[in-house]
Structure 1
């Protein structure tokens, strides 16, 4: 989610607290709901450092509790009439709203760091979701009296929206088997929110021979294939996966394609993250040049566009 959405959700959380809209609680929830994205400071060290750390430590429950203690301590000093424990509880709630929303979209977050390094992802919400923004504005501006009815309505609409998206997603799973299952043997299906359209899903079908990538309209069930990527079937495939670049890319994304080209004196390998497709291009790639004995000569990460180049080794 973008910082503006997170801030609005933080204010929406505060609207439930029965505290003034411009007080210690609202400031605490809003700050806690936005601060996890301060990991953008890692961009100072380059795209690679940022993407390695984005939605990592700063999005974990442990970090959120720690930063909430700090925020609550400062705000209680500034607003001595508001109890510390009350500010702390609502500030933690604001911080958790950030990680919850990020877990519900495609990129996910390391919620249980440092116990688990896994990036959890529910793959239901868009990064910029108009429904979440609308619900937040509804609670902030139409809940001046801290009405429990308004809060209950907003909560039910949010849960209903998640349930609806999940049900539509399950329906598309069935439709994929109906439209593609008799023509190809499907090994795996990945359905993600489309980058820019609330009524579409990004799909990735894996077969033994290739990946099929495209978009589907969840309302009329119309499929549009954007790419068909043949799998490389050569003996060195597993060794390439365990190269420096291969291990890096495997940690970066759970689903990707390898194109291995034999150039005579060396192997040229292109890794493509299949999750994000916008403006007729995949967002993340990496390239590797491997010697004939499979030692890595060069490794380059390409964030956002194939034209961007960041050295991995």
Structure 2
């Protein structure tokens, strides 16, 4: 989920914690738990700072080790070491338990996004992505804001957020049902599909679709379970040419390939350099595919420039690469 949603989730969990007698009966425990649940709802995303270095490192590592099983165990202890000295009268066990719950819920809800997490590390580096909730879901965010507002107006926070979480669980189940309806329709439209990826959008009834069979890639959308194929491309295996093999050694393309499961590729030859481009097919937007990896190599196959990430126009991509083709 996005940062804002994780913040309101932390506040809501702190309110729910007041149903715990050990929390409700102690002002120090109540205050420390609220601080800890907000912090615990944020700390797994500390790897966002990697984006300050470059996109390749960020793509390879975001929601990786910081969302792993050891991290879920470690983060609450780190927060306790920081928070507990300021609240020595707080109930240590219950403070830890609610902090652990905040960290666990952060990682758990991220699994439902299309981006996913490596939550099974160190046992598996596979990305776990159920693809039923958008990274920012306005309904989930709005329900939390409503719950917080009701709390501010004087309602019991514990029961308010208990009801709220019941509504959210029902919403998640509705999203699963909606996705399954779309999946069934995609299988009808592309009966020989070997892989289907359905990604949510911010709108409840709209989904992005990327699918493939043995010969083609298909890109489409679904609105109210009605599937429309927008693009299709011949599925051409990536050849092991000297140009492409040299490009694969670049950190940006390597990071892209470690993350993207459905893509097509292009190689362009200019007067004095080659350009290798890999295009993720999952994120079509207004006829454009914004998530790419591009590597430019000189005639000796030495890297000149490269980029991976989101770019919404060719002009901006050229600025990032700092080279204009002849």
**TM-score band, normalised by shorter chain:** 0.7 to 0.9
Higher helix share: 2
2:111 & 2:241 partners in 1: Cα distance? 32
Whether the 8 Å CA contact 2:186–2:227 is kept in 1: the answer is no
Shift of 1:262: 7.1
- Which of 217, 227, 243 aligns to 1:211? It is 217
- Which residue is equivalent to 1:112? 120
Whether the 8 Å CA contact 1:109–1:119 is kept in 2: the answer is yes
- Which of 231, 244, 252 aligns to 1:227? It is 231
Q: Describe the shift of the 1:235–1:24 C-alpha distance in structure 2 as closer, same or farther (beyond 3 A).
A: closer
Whether the 8 Å CA contact 2:219–2:282 is kept in 1: the answer is no
- Asked if 1:275 corresponds to 2:274, the answer is no
Query: Deviations along 1:17-71, whole A, 9 cap, x unmatched?
Result: 1146971001100011012222222122122222222112222232233221122
- Asked if 1:177 corresponds to 2:187, the answer is yes
- Which residue is equivalent to 2:195? 188
Q: Describe the shift of the 1:235–1:62 C-alpha distance in structure 2 as closer, same or farther (beyond 3 A).
A: closer
Q: Describe the shift of the 1:241–1:202 C-alpha distance in structure 2 as closer, same or farther (beyond 3 A).
A: farther
Shift of 1:124: 0.8
- Asked if 1:70 corresponds to 2:51, the answer is no
- Which of 244, 248, 252 aligns to 2:249? It is 244
Other structure's SS at 2:42 match: helix
Q: TM-score scaled by structure 1?
A: 0.83
Shift of 1:250: 2.4
Shift of 1:129: 0.6
Whether the 8 Å CA contact 1:186–1:206 is kept in 2: the answer is yes
Query: Deviations along 1:113-161, whole A, 9 cap, x unmatched?
Result: 333322211111011112221332344343542444x444323322221
The alignment of Structure 1 onto Structure 2 pairs a total of residues equal to: 303
Shift of 1:198: 2.8
Shift of 1:297: 4.8
RMSD across aligned positions (CA): 3.2
- Which residue is equivalent to 1:302? 308
Q: Describe the shift of the 1:289–1:16 C-alpha distance in structure 2 as closer, same or farther (beyond 3 A).
A: same
Q: Describe the shift of the 1:109–1:238 C-alpha distance in structure 2 as closer, same or farther (beyond 3 A).
A: farther
Shift of 1:175: 1.4
Residues 257-266 or 122-131, more deviating: 257-266
Residues 79-88 or 240-249, more deviating: 240-249
- Which residue is equivalent to 1:165? 175
Whether the 8 Å CA contact 2:198–2:207 is kept in 1: the answer is yes
Shift of 1:112: 2.8
Whether the 8 Å CA contact 1:186–1:205 is kept in 2: the answer is yes
Whether the 8 Å CA contact 1:231–1:259 is kept in 2: the answer is no
1:162 & 1:131 partners in 2: Cα distance? 11
1:6 & 1:33 partners in 2: Cα distance? 5
1:238 & 1:207 partners in 2: Cα distance? 28
- Which residue is equivalent to 2:16? 16
Residues 10-19 or 136-145, more deviating: 136-145
1:226 & 1:62 partners in 2: Cα distance? 42
| Consecutive unaligned residues in structure 2, runs of 5 or more | none
2:169 & 2:271 partners in 1: Cα distance? 56
Q: Describe the shift of the 1:191–1:269 C-alpha distance in structure 2 as closer, same or farther (beyond 3 A).
A: same
2:245 & 2:136 partners in 1: Cα distance? 33
